[in-house]
Amino acid sequence: MTAKTYSISELARELDVTTRTIRFYEEQGMLSPTRRGQERIYTPKDRVALKLILRGKRIGFSLAECKELIELYDPSLGNRKQLDTFLDKITERRAQLEQQLLDIQQMQLELDTAEERCRAALAEVPEGR
């Protein structure tokens, strides 16, 4: 029995992306379909890679980080290295987001202070001036 394969339109429909998106990831060397004439034939491994790319992009990973994770895929090793690396990247991303959140909260405080000062200054300016 042969493994299931997918056309570009099947993958696009299933994962809710455009065929252009899939071709872009192929151009980046992240997917490697075989060809039957002009038709691209994607394997289950390509499908998993595309799902990993899309998940990685949703949580803020760069294309380089997604590519690194795909290249670590080795089912013969139980994907231990890939999963350990993924966890490390999740930890890094979480730390970045926490820092961004702190930066945003600090900026909000500064905006509040600036707004209060502007309103106080406006209160002291006579109307029409």
pTM of the model: 0.73
93-123 pLDDT per residue, tens? 999 999 999 999 999 999 999 999 999 999 9
30-76 pLDDT per residue, tens? 999 999 898 999 999 899 899 999 999 999 999 999 999 888 877 67
Q: In this predicted structure, what is the pLDDT of residue 80?
A: 84
What are the φ/ψ torsions at residue 29 (nearest 5 degrees)?
Answer: 80, 20
Q: In this predicted structure, what is the pLDDT of residue 69?
A: 87
The chain-wide mean pLDDT, for the chain, equals 91
C-alpha 13, offset from chain centre: 19
Q: In this predicted structure, what is the pLDDT of residue 31?
A: 93
Q: Residue 129: pLDDT band by 50, 70, 90 thresholds? A: low
Closest-CA residue to 15 (of 52, 69, 63, 40): 52
Domain boundaries, the chain: 1-71, 77-129
Work out the number of other CB atoms within 10 angstroms of the CB of residue 10. 13
Closest-CA residue to 43 (of 29, 121, 128, 35): 35
Domain 1-71: state its class.
Answer: mainly alpha
Q: Residue 1: pLDDT band by 50, 70, 90 thresholds? A: low
